[in-house]
């Protein structure tokens, strides 16, 4: 059974001006998501700036998120690492904190072989009982999890159940859907490809867009799941300018700016990420007004 269907938000980690995690703002963001129909919360992923959280902060953010959500929707924790031992540690600790699933990014920088990826993910999966989604984002990791490797893992390892596909390569994702024969739960990792990936059998999206437009992102997915493909496609196309604006600089720079423009107090970014360029911020604000969320 799938961990979730629909729109899961890849939630930001709000920060105070001194760089500390702002748990008061985080609680408000979680409530905003749940009130607007989000189907799952994915915490400490790329959008959550996991790469600049200490291990202690990483686990604290996961634990607090679990408490805030309080069982109302699934919580999926990003616990991947380019070090297998670290990924095992974060995953086993997250399991103790009560998450519903894990998201494991492919090891970055190391550029493991496909066999190395298989062994890495299998080792982490065998350390826990939770369902696991792989996270394929080669533009950030320098490493592509090939469809054959995804299928092999989902068939060989009981609790590896699917993949967040952010390669942007629709042909690769179609190949994955074709060879998996339903054994892989596929989620779009790109907001501009929700409908195309669901048309290939995907179950939904793990979304940056949902941070600022949770109701709309949920509806894009729900309409498709309900058979209203035309309605889903219409909403997808209406959101394209906003999707593009949210990625005009590296994620999560624009989405944190967008939340701050909405008065949601997402706060600052941790170095080496820096505040959005003024020209891009002005374009983002204009697009948000046109979309109706400002």
147-156 and 170-180 are packed helices; what angle lies between their axes, rounded to 10 degrees? 30
Burial class (CB in 10 A: 0-12, 13-18, 19+), 111: middle
Q: Are 193 and 33 in contact (CB under 8 A)?
A: no
Q: Which SS3 state, helix, strand or coil, does residue 8 take? A: strand
257 in catalytic set:
no
Q: Which SS3 state, helix, strand or coil, does residue 21 take? A: strand
Query: Phi/psi of residue 51, each to 5°?
Result: -70, -15
Q: In angstroms, what CA-CA distances link 142 with 82, 164, 188? A: 11, 16, 19
Q: Which SS3 state, helix, strand or coil, does residue 60 take? A: helix
Task: Give the separation between CA 280 and CA 251, rounded to whole angstroms.
Answer: 13
Tokens of 286: 């204009």
Write down the catalytic residue from 5, 164, 256, 257: 164
Q: In angstroms, what CA-CA distances link 128 with 99, 159, 160? A: 12, 9, 11
Task: Give the separation between CA 50 and CA 11, rounded to whole angstroms.
Answer: 11
Write down the catalytic residue from 5, 118, 135, 257: 135
75 forms beta bridges with 41
Task: Give the separation between CA 121 and CA 170, rounded to whole angstroms.
Answer: 23
Task: Give the separation between CA 254 and CA 100, rounded to whole angstroms.
Answer: 28
135 in catalytic set:
yes
Q: Would you name the residues annotated as active-site residues?
A: 135, 164
């Amino acid at each position: 059974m799938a961990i979730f269907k629909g729109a899961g938000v890849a939630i930001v980690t709000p920060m105070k001006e001194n760089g500390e995690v702002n748990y008061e703002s985080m609680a408000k963001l979680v409530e905003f998501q749940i009130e607007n129909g989000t189907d799952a919360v994915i915490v400490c992923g790329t959008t959550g700036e996991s790469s600049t959280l200490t291990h202690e902060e990483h686990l604290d953010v996961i634990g607090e998120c679990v408490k805030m959500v309080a069982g109302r929707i699934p919580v999926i924790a990003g616990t991947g690492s380019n070090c297998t031992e670290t990924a095992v540690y974060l995953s086993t600790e997250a399991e103790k904190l009560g998450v519903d699933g894990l998201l494991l990014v492919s090891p970055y920088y190391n550029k493991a072989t496909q066999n190395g990826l298989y062994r890495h993910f299998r080792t982490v999966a065998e350390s826990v009982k939770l369902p696991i989604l792989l996270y394929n984002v080669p533009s950030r990791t320098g490493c592509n999890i090939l469809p054959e490797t995804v299928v092999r893992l989902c068939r060989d390892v009981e609790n590896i159940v699917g993949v967040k596909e952010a390669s942007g390569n629709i042909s690769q994702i179609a190949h994955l859907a074709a060879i998996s024969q339903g054994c892989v739960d596929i989620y779009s990792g790109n907001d501009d490809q929700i409908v195309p990936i669901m048309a290939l059998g995907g179950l939904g999206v793990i979304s940056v867009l949902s941070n600022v437009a949770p109701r709309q992102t949920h509806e894009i997915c729900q309409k498709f799941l309900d058979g209203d493909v035309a309605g889903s496609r219409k909403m997808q196309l209406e959101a394209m300018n906003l999707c593009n604006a949210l990625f005009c600089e590296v994620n999560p720079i624009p989405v944190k700016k967008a939340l701050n423009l909405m008065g949601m107090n997402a706060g600052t970014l941790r170095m080496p990420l820096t505040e959005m360029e003024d020209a891009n911020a002005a374009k983002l604000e204009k697009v948000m007004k046109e979309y109706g969320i400002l």
